[in-house]
Amino acid sequence: MSRLLLIAARNLLQHRGRTLMLGSAIALVTLLLVLLTSVSRGVQDTMLRAATTIATGHVNIAGFYKITSGQAAPVVTRYEPLVKWVRQEVPEARLVVDRLRGWGKLISPTASVQVGVRGVDIDAEPELARVLSIVQGDLRGLRRPNTALLFAKQAEKLAVRVGDTLTLSAPTVRGANNAVDVEVVAIARNLGLLSQFNIFAPKQTVREIYLLKRDTTGAIQLLLRDPSRAAGVAERLRAGLTRQGYRLLDAQAEPFWMKIPIVTREDWTGQKLDVTTWRDELAMLTWILTAFDTVTVVVVGILLVIIVIGVMNALWISIRERTREIGTLRAIGMGRGRVLLMFMLESGLLALGATTIGALLGVAGAHLLNAARIELSPGFAIFLMSDTLQLAVWPRAVVGAAALISGVITCFALYPAYRAARLRPVLALHDVG
């Protein structure tokens, strides 16, 4: 085996030009795959960070309360024992908080915007202070009632600054509109699409405007130590809540506001809970990830086909050049298996070396691009939820990319290597090249 490896390595070195050309192509495709997966991962991380700050937890327990079958309020009643139960049931949650949720119109002397209102207890959500970048004012201002945090784009549109007063008008379940004056206490840097349509206000203010009781909230949000386990935790919660006697809505990968008309049409009253993940709540945005991943698969797939053809071609040339050598080795007692292994090692070695270099360059490239803080155009910034291009290098994805490309190349080298192994010794020996 070691001698076959030596032959493979030296043959690669002997044909430096060919090795360099093919190796560069393989390294380039690996680099591209690492960069694209890092972009995709970066978008996912950014989206997750922004989404779990503004709109959703990694897992949410929300639901609807129906006083009559035709009226549905997106609230959870008697939520406090539920929060206690969730804390016991999900030890992997690093934070369990409740938020109120509503939809209203924010009116300034010069303009108005429709916004989702997030009623928060600012002291219970240290995550907000870490993620929101405050450009004006103080987040702690939300401790006072009748205050609001806006995002820069909204403040610009409403032409307000910290200290100005706005009117928040919201329709209640009973069909009336309630209004309250709120003081702008903080303005945060934009966080993409979600920050265009959301503001933060103290829970008390949202409760008052919607005339909600103290034991009622909008959603219980869980932030997990490992967000990738969200689906599993959601599944576990669904089963647990059913066992606890709660009624649950059927699982649907949609944000809560899209479920309102469906629930309103349904013939039931009382409380039903709904367990969702951040992906469900952002189902309309996850197409961005799907689009990125699709582009990655298509681009890398096409390039992979090209280099596979290149490697197979190079191997055919190598076999053609070394037909007599194959004949000699077969004559002196080398079996077919070893001939096959010899050529597989050659392509495997080339693929492994080139993908390793490509992966390392990809990782370095991702770090360089992050360091360069490349600004995104406004359109991209909205969808990618970040002002700058963010790449996230995921070690498993890097190793996976290198392994995938090495594996594909080695697999496709199998056929030429097999043909080499099947050469009849007598014909190979007397090949005149």
Partner 1 sequence: MPEPLSEPPSAERIVQLEGVRKDYRLGAVVVPALRALDLTISRGEFSAIAGPSGSGKTTLLNLIGCVDVATAGRVTVAGQETGQLSDRALTRLRLFQIGFIFQSFNLVPVLTALQNIEFPLLLQGGIGRAERHERVRALLARVGLGDHAEHRPGELSGGQRQRVAIARALVTRPALVLADEPTANLDSKTGGTIIELMQQLNEQDGTTFLFSTHDQQVIKHAHRVIRLVDGQIAA
Encoded amino acid at 389, one letter: L
Shortest distance, position 387 Cβ to partner 1, whole Å = 55
Q: Which is nearer to partner 1, 166 or 329 (CB)?
A: 329
Shortest distance, position 334 Cβ to partner 1, whole Å = 6
User: Which helix (H) or strand (E) element contains residue 313?
Assistant: helix 286-321
Q: Are 188 and 50 in contact (CB under 8 A)?
A: no
Shortest distance, position 13 Cβ to partner 1, whole Å = 8
Shortest distance, position 277 Cβ to partner 1, whole Å = 57
| Spatial separation of the C-alpha atoms in residues 97 and 211, rounded to whole Å | 21
Contacts of 109 (CB under 8 A, 6+ apart): 159
What's the Cα-to-Cα distance from 23 to each of 16, 29, 125, rounded to whole Å?
A: 10, 10, 51
Shortest distance, position 321 Cβ to partner 1, whole Å = 10
| Spatial separation of the C-alpha atoms in residues 39 and 300, rounded to whole Å | 14
Comparing C-alpha atoms, which of 333, 339, 374, 381 is closest to residue 43?
A: 381
Shortest distance, position 413 Cβ to partner 1, whole Å = 19
**The CA-based dihedral angle spanning residues 105, 382, 142, 80, taken in that order and rounded to the nearest 10 degrees:** 90
Q: Which is nearer to partner 1, 109 or 335 (CB)?
A: 335
Q: Which is nearer to partner 1, 396 or 424 (CB)?
A: 424
Q: Which is nearer to partner 1, 91 or 337 (CB)?
A: 337
| Helix runs in 163-285, H state only | 203-210, 230-243, 256-265, 278-281
Shortest distance, position 6 Cβ to partner 1, whole Å = 7
| Spatial separation of the C-alpha atoms in residues 260 and 279, rounded to whole Å | 18
Shortest distance, position 331 Cβ to partner 1, whole Å = 5
Which DSSP string corresponds to 185-205? Answer: EEEE---GGGGGSEEEEEHHH
Q: Which is nearer to partner 1, 332 or 371 (CB)?
A: 332
Q: Which is nearer to partner 1, 191 or 421 (CB)?
A: 421
Q: Residue 58 phi/psi, 5° resolution?
A: -65, -35
Cross-strand bridge partners of residue 270: 66
Shortest distance, position 342 Cβ to partner 1, whole Å = 10
| Spatial separation of the C-alpha atoms in residues 214 and 207, rounded to whole Å | 8
- The contact set with partner 1 (CB under 8 A) reads 3, 6-7, 10-11, 14, 324-325, 327-336, 338, 424-426, 429-430
Encoded amino acid at 129, one letter: A
Q: Which is nearer to partner 1, 261 or 333 (CB)?
A: 333
Q: Are 170 and 178 in contact (CB under 8 A)?
A: yes
Q: Which is nearer to partner 1, 96 or 329 (CB)?
A: 329
Q: Which is nearer to partner 1, 275 or 329 (CB)?
A: 329
Count CB neighbours of 384 within 10 A: 22
